[in-house]
Chains A and B, each alone.
Chain A
Amino acid sequence: MIKNWINRHLQVIQQVLVRMRLHGWSTLMMCGVIGVTLCLPSLFYIATDNLNRLASDIQTQSPISLFLKLNATQAEIQSIERQLKGDEHITSYHLVTKDQAWQKMQKTGAGNTVASNIVNTLDKNPLPDAFFITPASNTPEAISQLQSSLQALNGVDKALIDSQWIKRLNGLLQLGNKMVLVLASLLAFALVAVIGNTIRMQILTQLAEIEVSQLIGATKSFIRCPFLYAGALYGLGGGLIACLLLWTMVSFFNSTVVQIAAEYGSQFAISNQSLVLNLFIVLTATAIGWLAAYFAVNSALVTYH
């Protein structure tokens, strides 16, 4: 029973494939159109995704600077250090005392006339003690939360992060994500229309078969079946072509990106080799093809009687 069912479906798929091979060129064009259409939002997605990655790379490199009050006592410094040690939101920290900072400033000032002039005009150390802290999490929320909790500690003058631009970048990236979503939905709609239209053309060439089949007792699902497979196969083919195109394009861009990144001492490279993304593209395309075919056939089926 089940074997019969599987056999029947295999047979249907085989018939569909034979028909597709018969019209090889138009099948290829169809899959190509689907592939290119899928490429657009995918490329956009890869761009925002990689910028996201790049941004969080930068964020993890940006520590919070905790400047203490000039009159902070030794006891206060020790108490702050104890709290930093106990805080699981903090990966690491180090203390730069006002004397260390002063010496470093004088040393760097030695080769620099402006700086040394400034240093020379100061008769006493104006610098505070400071902790430099690496947060454990790199989301903007977590960092600003950490910042405010640090700000509240006794003896702290200012907890500084250069978070403004990170926030802006994150905002932009969120906008980018939304645009990917909108673009993807629009193009999905276009794909439904394009695939549906192709299926409708095929239906037109098979109206006689559909009519006879219905007259001699074929159920709607029986008649739908080959067209659904055709739609799904178009989607599958288009999805695979999209993956291939993306892979080619990213490799093409990467040869340049890696070079530029290397000049900045970074090992950054665009990645799209995520299996999940490729699987998602292929599955979505297949589903879109299936749906498009479903709508197309349903509108073509007449109820005799």
Chain B
Amino acid sequence: MSIIQFDQVSKRYQASNDVLSQVSFTIKAGELVFVTGRSGAGKSTLLKLVAAIERPSTGTVLVNNQNVSQLRAAALPYLRRKFGLVFQDHKLLYDRNCFQNIALPLHINGLTGTEANKRIRAALDKVGLLHKEKAMPITLSGGEQQRLAIARAVVSRPSILIADEPTGNLDATYAADIMSLFSAFQQVGVTVIVATHDADTMTEHHNNVLHLQAGKLIQTLAPIPAWTNESQANIL
């Protein structure tokens, strides 16, 4: 069953050229998909289209077979709650501590109290930040902030997890940890979409890849053959 479907999607910001052009692909529920490409290729833009943060200039984006462009503005927040989002720039709130940062999505979902606290600690624990729950985000290292952003994305148990460069600031060990965390989510049925330029993390997983080059989709959702992994790993 397809959970996300792009059909001939193009995107341009105001008067610019097409950032994405004629992109079509389908993501099935429970898949782990990588979006790759060089800087400026349109990875973040693609993820924003998936998460209904931006609307396509032409073409249709279907989430759960719903045409996102046709949703009422009042219905959008409820669609977005299906997603757990890790932003490229984290978007952590620096006026409150880690615990309160993680609490935000739960509050938005109307969940407070002991059940919420339990979930917040569980999420912090997953990313190895339980001991920092009272710390302010500004006092965290870059990698710790990234992990905090991941904890915030997963705390409300979304059915689709979208992560934009979630391992950019992490050393190989932590990057591997995060990737296995994403795999774990996938294994319990969560659809995971990760944008990355870190080929290492990607090639360790035999998964689907959306490779973008200047806004065009080059490689679609074909499982990477083992030999490709090898050769890529060798090249890199």
Contacts and interface: CB of A to CB of B under 8 A. Distances in A.
Interface of A: 4-5, 7-8, 11, 206, 208-209, 211-220, 222, 303-305
Q: Which 9 A-B pairs have the closest CB atoms?
A: A217-B80, A217-B81, A218-B108, A219-B77, A217-B77, A212-B91, A305-B55, A216-B105, A304-B53
Nearest to B111: A4
Interface of B: 51-55, 68, 73-74, 76-81, 83, 85, 87, 91, 93-95, 104-105, 107-110, 112-113
Contact of A215 (B55, B91, B94): B91
B110 A8 contact: yes
B104 A212 contact: yes
A222 B108 contact: yes
A218 B104 CA distance: 10
B55 A208 contact: no
B103 to A, nearest CB: 10
Contacts of B52: 305
A213 B80 contact: no
Nearest to B105: A216
B108 A217 contact: yes
Contacts of B104: 209, 212-213, 216
Given A212-B93, A215-B51, A219-B78, 5 more contacts: A209-B104, A214-B77, A215-B91, A219-B77, A305-B55
A7 B80 contact: no
B112 A8 contact: yes
Nearest to A212: B91
Contact of B73 (A209, A211, A216, A303): A303
Contacts of B73: 303, 305
B28 to A, nearest CB: 23
Given A305-B53, A305-B55, A305-B76, A216 B112 contact: no
A217 B80 CA distance: 5
B208 to A, nearest CB: 25
A7 B112 CA distance: 8
Contact of A216 (B74, B108, B113): B108
B54 A305 contact: yes
A204 B94 CA distance: 14
Contacts of A220: 77
B77 A218 contact: yes
B166 to A, nearest CB: 15
Contact of A211 (B91, B95, B107): B91
Nearest to B73: A303
Contacts of A218: 77, 108
Contacts of A5: 110
Contacts of A4: 110, 112
Contact of A208 (B53, B80, B91, B113): B91
A214 B91 CA distance: 12
Given A8-B107, A8-B110, A208-B93, A215 B81 contact: no
A7 B55 contact: no
A155 B79 CA distance: 89
B226 to A, nearest CB: 38
Contacts of A208: 91, 93-95
Contacts of A305: 52-55, 68, 73, 76
Contacts of A213: 104, 108
Nearest to B87: A215
A206 B95 CA distance: 9
B111 to A, nearest CB: 8
B53 A217 contact: no
Nearest to A205: B95
5 contacts: A208-B95, A211-B91, A216-B104, A217-B81, A304-B53
Contacts of B107: 8
A215 B112 contact: no
A222 B95 CA distance: 19
Nearest to B91: A212
Nearest to A7: B112
Contacts of B87: 215
A156 B48 CA distance: 93
A197 B102 CA distance: 30
Contacts of A214: 77
A73 B91 CA distance: 101
A304 B78 CA distance: 13
Nearest to A1: B110
Contacts of B53: 215, 304-305
A214 B85 CA distance: 12
A42 to B, nearest CB: 38
